[in-house]
Copies of this chain bind each other. A is one copy, B any other.
Amino acid sequence: MGGATTHLAGRADHAAVRRANLAVVVRALRAGARTRARLATDTQLTKATVSSLVAELAGRGLVRSGAPTRAGGVGRPGQEVELAAERVLSIGVELNVDYLCGVVLDLAGEQRAVVRTAFDVPGRIEATAEEMADLIVDLAGTALGADSAVLAGVGVAAPGLVDGAAGIVRVAPNLRWHDVPVLDLLAKRLARVPLPWLPAPGGAEPSREPVDVLIDNEATLATLAEYAGGVDPAERDLILVTGGVGVGGGLVVDGRLVRGSAGFAGEVGHIAVVPDGVLCGCGRRGCWETVCGLGALLDLAAAPDDTVRDHRRDLDERLDLLLDRARHGDARTLQAFDKVGRALGLGAAMLVNLTNPRVLVLGGYFARLGEFLRPLVEAELADRVVAPDAGGVRVALSRLGLAAAATGAAHAALAAVLDDPTLVPSTGAPPSAREALRKDTA
């Protein structure tokens, strides 16, 4: 017994190192195809180790041979290895007040599909779960096609307080949801559909059980999307502040998403930036979103009967109208932008003083009006942050638009495979195919 345990533990150590090294190679290849020699340099592993890792990844269908290159012009050409990114896909879905958004990412984190569908969520639970399941199955059908792709997982982004461990939306006032077990409702429906899920841990064949569905807060997942896909990976400290009817936020510290001890981090919209200020929908006064949420902007920018306040019109069109007015020097619009931008900067400075991020990303409508809001935020940070040069923070605009949260949900669903590529089963490809990949290993 002692001996057997010893052996297993010894193997466990080596297996853990091996998994970590496989993950390092996959992450390096996400940046683009490269030769084994270049991989060895990039990963600080030996060429022999890299070759062995590449052979294993090839066996799992995760890499393939790319174009030959002649490094430095000397010797025989090196064969590039490239990620077979389409082998592993993940799906992210955001449920919001009046739409569902779905995104498919591949192993490289590239978007393979995106769809947004109008759907009236508030007060409807079963119907929403049904619609989400349909959306996921449709996306899987389109994106997975007849390929050998496996589905790493599904991520769900929801507004409000989300208990990710239990899979429950605790409180989502805008949806009129309270303690809704979204993951259970979704899993029940997905279990009826044959999807090529990864094998359950320890299993040999792809499972038919949707074991890999996760849920988290929309702003938290949008933050992950900004970090995973949006910015320089060297920028390991990031804050997202995203504006809609509510104001949400998220925090990445030293490359890791901050979820909080109970998963409730990033609730910035109800920080009391104006003590005894106006009443917020949450029942408190002076919350940040009362001074820079979409409602505050529209109240300031336009009379009640102004077309930009017509909720039946698409938000993007209405924001375009406001941008057009501002660009033409309309005083009321510019004053509204000024007031909202300064209020945004006031709260942003609090976050920057506390966490000293490298990047502050403005998302949602803040990004859309970024040409006007960003300079105002930068000025407030320069005034209000204690550290010199506002602690070196750069203010960036999100480019993810309405797909940010769904994209983050799909990134979250990819993470398990990125951390442990051995979750992906062997393809059972004929030896000759792998032999070709192994050829210049010798």
Contact = CB atoms under 8 A, between A and B. Distances in A.
Interface of A: 2, 5-6, 8-10, 13, 17, 21, 44-49, 161, 170-171, 235-237, 249, 251, 253-254, 256, 258-275, 282, 284, 346, 349-351, 353-358, 383-388, 391-393
A9 B21 CA distance: 12
A5 B47 CA distance: 9
A266 B352 CA distance: 9
Contact of A258 (B9, B253, B274, B392): B253
A15 to B, nearest CB: 11
Nearest to A249: B354
With most chain B CB atoms within 10 A of its CB, the pick from A44, A265, A353 is A353
Given A237-B261, A262-B356, A270 B386 contact: yes
Contacts of A264: 356, 386-387, 391
Given A2-B46, A275-B273, A356-B263, A384 B284 contact: yes
Given A235-B261, A237-B261, A272-B350, 14 more contacts: A5-B46, A5-B47, A9-B44, A10-B49, A253-B253, A254-B256, A259-B356, A260-B355, A261-B357, A261-B391, A264-B386, A266-B354, A267-B353, A275-B346
A49 to B, nearest CB: 6
A45 B388 CA distance: 47
Contact of A267 (B8, B170, B346, B356): B356
Contacts of A358: 261
A367 to B, nearest CB: 20
Sort A-B residue pairs by CB-CB distance and give the 7 closest, nearest first. A260-B356, A264-B387, A261-B358, A237-B261, A9-B46, A264-B356, A265-B356
B6 A17 contact: no
Nearest to A170: B388
A251 B355 contact: yes
A44 B9 CA distance: 8
A56 to B, nearest CB: 16
A430 to B, nearest CB: 29
Contact of A353 (B46, B259, B271): B271
A365 B350 CA distance: 23
A222 to B, nearest CB: 16
A313 to B, nearest CB: 30
Contacts of A8: 46
Contacts of A282: 386
B346 A251 contact: no
A383 B351 CA distance: 21
Contacts of A349: 271-272
A174 to B, nearest CB: 13
A386 B254 contact: no
A384 to B, nearest CB: 6
Contacts of A47: 2, 5-6
Nearest to A7: B46
